[in-house]
Amino acid sequence: MPFAPVFSVVAPLAGLFVLLVVARFPRLRFYRRFVAPAGAVLSLIGVLAVPMEPAQVAILSYWRPSVFFGASPALLAAPEVWCLALAFSCAVTASLLVQLSRVPEPRFPLGISALGMLAAGLAGLWGENLLTVLIAWAGFDLAWGLGMAAAGLPARQLVLGAGLNGLATMALWVGALASGGGGLSWQFMPPAGLGGGLLLVAGLLRLSLYPLHLTLPEEDGQGQPGAAPLLLGPVLGWGMLARLAAVGGGTLVVGPWLEGLAAVTFVGGGFLAWTRTGPGGGWPWASLAGVGEVLWASLLAGEAALPVLVAGGAAWALGTTLLRLDKGLDLTAPWWSATGALGGMALLGAPLTLGLVPAAFLAGSFATPFAAGKVVVFLIGQGLLTAAVARRVLRTAPAEEPAGPLPAAARAAGLILPTALLLLGGAWPDLLVPFAGTLWGLLAQSGVIGWGSWAAGIVVGAVLSWQERRFRQRLEPLLGLVHDIFRLEWVLRLVLNSLARASAFLSVVAEVVEGPGAILWALAIFLLVLLIVVGR
């Protein structure tokens, strides 16, 4: 049985248990803040060691529920999703390391949540069958809900996120049952049919595409770097889509409607990020735009959808985390802002970052006939996202309390790890992602038209970022209004209020029908039937 994948899942679970034990003893409370980062670092080491072992099935339990056709919980560290698992574990580890440098210390349930999401996320990516993936998704949802509550985020978002995640898990469950024997292992999974379609829906629900973006955590918890993993739920969606692409011969079998939804998510996320009021806001919506861009590129990549999904999902996780951990521009130590800028460039698909892989295939589609509409949509989304990233990175950093050598080292390690992984993937893509291609091959993929369109989008965003200083303060109320309109929260409230009123009406009707008025209702129905019969 392979050791590394099992160790990478067990290490954060052991850290979670140790954290619970340490929290019960006041004398050990000082060491509590080091437990979660230590568990995450051990898990990251296990993920790094996975390629050193042959990919074999690791059976975790001999429990065989008959409803899943006798499948047992098992792990298989498939090489095609290793980069995604590495990026996810690196992002969680970086968040917990940077948290060591921040004061005050967060509530310990936040560390429990991060470790739980890390273990469940890796199990979901490496699940050898749908039973393992289902258990992992359920565990991830529990840890995510605990983290949302510990970070002090609104209860409304917790309820919405739990509902959407539960719907995705339900789609996975029904899809597993509809797949029949295909649920025993991914190698037996049919790429099409009802089961495959439901699994695709489950993966898309995990991505929180527009207009299901209301489950994204707001900026309320941005003072806690340990809350950054709360935004990494779409990694489960990337893993599901990558698995479906693998069993489908490298291609996602979907309709043309999904390409339009991905483009809308890309532009909508960029627009919401740019119109968000406040200098530091908008990073969740920038993340949403990155999701749309990667999905759009994978749908246009054809048989190369698998490496685009894996590389794009990894770049999205690392870039989102770096952008989230960025505190702004500090003129006394400007090098700290370089990591946030690199994370933003990864979301934009800049060369020499891992985001180059999806950007190359997306920009390469612009050279095809009748691509003018795609180019216009891309320029709008890329320009808005560039301006939003620039506003996030160039904001003034708040004053920091003096930190000792250990917090400074933890912060440096937490920012260097994802930065190095992004640069390594950009310089040597096929080292991390099989069949991703070389750096020069990806640069030649798009040609002059593709990279010219990409550069034009960056220029549009740079000009917008430079010029908005003249008018943004005057238009701030209007931008806030437009942001609230396109955020669609008012639509959700309208739907919920309508459902509440309908439920209240049905409750009143039930009381009348089932209570003292039951005899009158029966008599009225009898007379109505009698009139119909006599009338004939």
What does the domain layout of the chain look like in residue ranges? Answer: 494-535
pLDDT at position 173 over 90: no
Q: How much is the pTM?
A: 0.89
Highest-scoring range by mean pLDDT, 72-76, 256-260, 326-330, 453-457: 453-457
For the segment 373-392, the average pLDDT, to the nearest whole number, is: 91
Percent residues over pLDDT 90 in the chain: 37
At 457, the pLDDT band (50, 70, 90 cuts) reads very high
Of residues 340 and 484, the one with the higher pLDDT is 340
What pLDDT, on the 0 to 100 scale, is given for residue 187?
Answer: 59
CA dist 146 and 28 (Å) reads 23
Is the Cα torsion angle 425, 426, 431, 436 positive or negative in sign?
positive
Residue 523: burial class (beta carbons within 10 Å; 0-12, 13-18, 19+)? exposed
Please state which of the ranges 175-179, 248-252, 531-535 shows the lowest mean pLDDT: 531-535
What pLDDT, on the 0 to 100 scale, is given for residue 378?
Answer: 92
For the segment 349-356, the average pLDDT, to the nearest whole number, is: 92
CA dist 54 and 40 (Å) reads 23
For the segment 224-235, the average pLDDT, to the nearest whole number, is: 90
Task: Tell me the residue type at 97.
Answer: L
Please state which of the ranges 12-16, 100-104, 365-369 shows the lowest mean pLDDT: 100-104
Residue 47: burial class (beta carbons within 10 Å; 0-12, 13-18, 19+)? buried
What pLDDT, on the 0 to 100 scale, is given for residue 509?
Answer: 60
What pLDDT, on the 0 to 100 scale, is given for residue 11?
Answer: 94
What pLDDT, on the 0 to 100 scale, is given for residue 358?
Answer: 93
- CA angle (265 as vertex; 498, 173 as ends), nearest 5: 70
Is residue 94 within 8 Å of 325, Cβ to Cβ?
yes
Q: What is the pLDDT of residues 117-156, one digit of tens each?
A: 999 999 999 988 888 898 999 999 999 999 988 888 877 7
Q: What is the largest CA-CA distance in the chain?
A: 95
pLDDT at position 99 over 80: yes
Across the chain, what does the average pLDDT equal?
84
